[in-house]
């Protein structure tokens, strides 16, 4: 009874996609908080377990609420299929580890979310997978690194925290020529603003914790791509290692998706306005916003992203002490390392999200103590601008 229409516009997919109505005719999707399923007969139990009959057997393998969310996300992304996991890292670690074996090689852009970087730099090498980091914005560096056979390439665009753009189409071509699977962490752009599968990615991974829930309530992740690949490589890993999502969390995100397009577009409009306000302030050295022409990768962002997105990074005149002073002077905006929320949140990457990197690694990605990352929410843009200006004035 699943409704699936590839012709629907995103707004319709977000509200209706994947809905399975029970016999009660509920209008809002039901939450199936069940770990197990009962069978009509012992024969049916045997048939379900052997796969001869379709149906649920255990919620580590599948659950109707989780299934509704997976179908809705697959429709929105334009992917053949989707699997959901307990967190974004559950999705990304599964998508990276499951396809790799000892002796394989992984290439990743050096500007990555901290835990993704840890998987590449520390976990994979312990299991005999060699990893190499490249400057994600430098196609020559990609060419050099992908001149050897490679199993998997991981990129994030825009990247965290400086919102650099990796040319997804160009890297997809190089990755495929090297025999690699291209995995994109599309969290910062969200499926509303960027469609990596259309640009040549093989798998798209999300932290649904961010824009998809978008209201700071639950952790969740998603992996999207071709059915054949996911069934062969990802399903056995998910089933037997168990990063299964809670149906409660899946339900929260399912309902969150209904307003995803509205929220992302409004937060992006707010972010664009606020980026200009910040750029004009005398205590600011530089602003990085994908929608501004002065962004060093503006052309690449323009090519692959519909708008500038919900995140802004800026460098204040000063270092850690001044950055802390500015953050502490905020009245409305919270200090938090979360992002993609209705509430605007600001953090100091060097001392929080990126503290595990050495100073050299931070410098390699252009990051220093003067940078602040701002996730713009749905408060009134004028109120947000006023809060930022008074905090910057405090310097
Ligand atoms: C938050 C985040 C993750 C991790 O997701 P969790 O849901 O916290 O596990 C991965 N990548 C990016 C870009 C993120 O922002």
The pLDDT tens digits for 204-221 are 999 999 999 999 999 999
Mean pLDDT estimate for the chain: 96
Under the banding of pLDDT at 50, 70 and 90, the label for residue 2 is low
**Structure tokens that stand for 364 in this block:** 């390699």
For helices 381-393 and 320-328, give the axis angle rounded to 10 degrees: 130
**Structure tokens that stand for 313 in this block:** 């990074």
Identify the residue whose C-alpha is closest to ligand 1 atom 2. Answer: 207
Provide the β-strand partners of residue 132. 107
Per-domain residue ranges of the chain:
10-258, 260-393
Is the beta carbon of 249 within 6 A of some atom in ligand 1?
no
Given the candidates 3.40.50.300, 3.40.640.10, 3.40.50.880, 3.20.20.140, the CATH classification of the domain at 10-258 is: 3.40.640.10
Given the candidates 3.40.50.970, 3.90.1150.10, 3.20.20.80, 3.40.50.300, the CATH classification of the domain at 260-393 is: 3.90.1150.10
CA distances to 61, 62, 106, 256, 322 from 69, rounded to whole Å, are 15, 11, 30, 10, 43
Residue 246 has pLDDT above 90, yes or no: yes
Under the banding of pLDDT at 50, 70 and 90, the label for residue 322 is very high
- What local confidence, expressed as pLDDT, does residue 361 receive? 86
Indicate which atom in ligand 1 lies nearest the CA of residue 92. Answer: 10
Name the 3-class secondary structure at 137.
coil
Per-residue pLDDT tens for 339-369? 999 999 999 999 999 998 888 888 888 899 9
CB 186 within 8 A of CB 193: no
Residue 1 has pLDDT above 50, yes or no: no
- What local confidence, expressed as pLDDT, does residue 298 receive? 97
- Cα separation, 111 vs 159, in Å, equals 6
Q: Please choose, from the candidates 162, 106, 104, 115, the residue with its C-alpha nearest in 3D space to the C-alpha of residue 365.
A: 162
- Cα separation, 267 vs 248, in Å, equals 26
Kindly report whether the peptide bond that precedes residue 158 is cis, defined as omega within 30 degrees of 0: yes
Residue 4 has pLDDT above 70, yes or no: no
- What local confidence, expressed as pLDDT, does residue 88 receive? 98
Per-residue pLDDT tens for 118-164? 999 999 999 999 999 999 999 999 999 999 999 999 999 999 999 99
**Structure tokens that stand for 349 in this block:** 């990457």
Is the beta carbon of 160 within 6 A of some atom in ligand 1?
yes
**Structure tokens that stand for 97 in this block:** 């580890």
One-character DSSP codes across 169-229 = HHHHHHHHHTTPEEEEE-TTTHHHH--GGGGT-SEEEEETIIIII-SS----EEEEE-HHH
One-character DSSP codes across 231-263 = IIIIHHHHHHH--PPPHHHHHHHHHHHTTHHHH
pLDDT mean over 37-65: 97
Identify the residue whose C-alpha is closest to ligand 1 atom 5. Answer: 88
Per-residue pLDDT tens for 163-205? 999 999 999 999 999 999 999 999 999 999 999 999 999 999 9
pLDDT mean over 370-374: 98
Residue 80 has pLDDT above 50, yes or no: yes
CA of 96 to the centre of ligand 1 (A): 14
- Cα separation, 333 vs 274, in Å, equals 13
CA of 42 to the centre of ligand 1 (A): 42
Is the beta carbon of 156 within 6 A of some atom in ligand 1?
yes
Is the beta carbon of 93 within 6 A of some atom in ligand 1?
no
**Structure tokens that stand for 17 in this block:** 């996609």
Is the beta carbon of 349 within 6 A of some atom in ligand 1?
no
Q: What percent of the residues of the chain are helix, what percent strand, and what percent coil, each to the nearest 5?
A: 40, 15, 45
Is the beta carbon of 77 within 6 A of some atom in ligand 1?
no
Going by C-beta distance under 8 Å and a sequence separation of 6 or more, which residues neighbour residue 57?
Answer: 37, 48, 49
- What local confidence, expressed as pLDDT, does residue 20 receive? 96
CA of 48 to the centre of ligand 1 (A): 35
User: Comparing 1-15, 35-49, 357-371, which segment has the lowest mean pLDDT?
Assistant: 1-15
- What local confidence, expressed as pLDDT, does residue 178 receive? 98
CA of 264 to the centre of ligand 1 (A): 17
User: CATH topology of 10-258 equal to that of 260-393?
Assistant: no
Question: Please, what is the Cα angle at 205 between 204 and 207, to 5 degrees?
Answer: 150
CA of 219 to the centre of ligand 1 (A): 9
Residue 342 vs residue 1, higher pLDDT: 342
Residue 3 has pLDDT above 80, yes or no: no
Q: Please choose, from the candidates 192, 293, 288, 211, the residue with its C-alpha nearest in 3D space to the C-alpha of residue 256.
A: 211
- Cα separation, 54 vs 84, in Å, equals 19
Question: Please, what is the Cα angle at 320 between 314 and 324, to 5 degrees?
Answer: 80
């Amino acid at each position: 009874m699943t409704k699936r229409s590839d012709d629907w516009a995103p707004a319709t997919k977000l509200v209706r996609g994947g809905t399975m109505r029970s016999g009660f005719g509920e209008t809002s999707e039901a939450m199936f908080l069940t770990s197990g399923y009962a069978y009509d007969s012992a024969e049916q139990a045997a048939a379900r377990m052997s796969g001869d009959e379709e149906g649920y057997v255990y919620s580590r393998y599948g659950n109707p609420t989780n299934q509704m969310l997976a179908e809705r996300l697959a429709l929105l992304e334009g992917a053949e299929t989707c699997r959901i996991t307990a967190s974004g890292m559950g999705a990304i670690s599964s998508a990276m580890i499951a396809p790799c074996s000892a002796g394989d090689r992984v290439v990743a852009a050096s500007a990555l979310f901290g835990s993704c970087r840890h998987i590449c730099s520390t976990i994979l090498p312990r299991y005999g997978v060699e990893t190499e980091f490249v400057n994600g914005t430098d196609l020559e560096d990609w060419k050099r690194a992908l001149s050897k056979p490679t199993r998997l390439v991981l990129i994030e665009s825009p990247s965290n925290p400086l919102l650099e753009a990796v040319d997804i189409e160009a890297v997809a071509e190089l990755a495929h020529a090297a025999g690699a699977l291209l995995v994109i962490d599309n969290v910062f752009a969200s499926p509303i603003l960027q469609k990596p599968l259309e640009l040549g990615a093989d798998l798209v991974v999300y932290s649904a914790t961010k824009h998809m829930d978008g209201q700071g309530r639950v952790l969740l992740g998603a992996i999207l791509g071709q059915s054949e690949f996911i069934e062969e490589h990802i399903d056995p890993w998910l089933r037997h290692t168990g990063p299964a999502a809670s149906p409660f969390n899946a339900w929260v995100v399912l309902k969150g998706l209904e307003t995803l397009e509205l929220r992302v577009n409004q937060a992006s409009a707010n972010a664009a306005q606020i980026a200009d306000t910040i750029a004009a302030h005398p205590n600011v050295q530089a602003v990085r916003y994908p929608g501004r022409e002065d962004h060093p990768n503006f052309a690449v962002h323009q090519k692959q992203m519909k708008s500038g997105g919900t995140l802004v990074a800026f460098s204040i005149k000063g270092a850690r002490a001044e950055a802390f002073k500015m953050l502490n002077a905020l009245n409305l905006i919270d200090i938090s390392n979360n992002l993609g929320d209705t509430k605007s949140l600001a953090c100091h990457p060097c001392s929080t999200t990126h503290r595990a990197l050495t100073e050299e690694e931070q410098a390699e990605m252009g990051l220093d103590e003067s940078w602040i990352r701002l996730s713009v929410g749905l408060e009134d843009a004028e109120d947000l601008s006023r809060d930022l200006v008074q905090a910057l004035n405090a310097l």
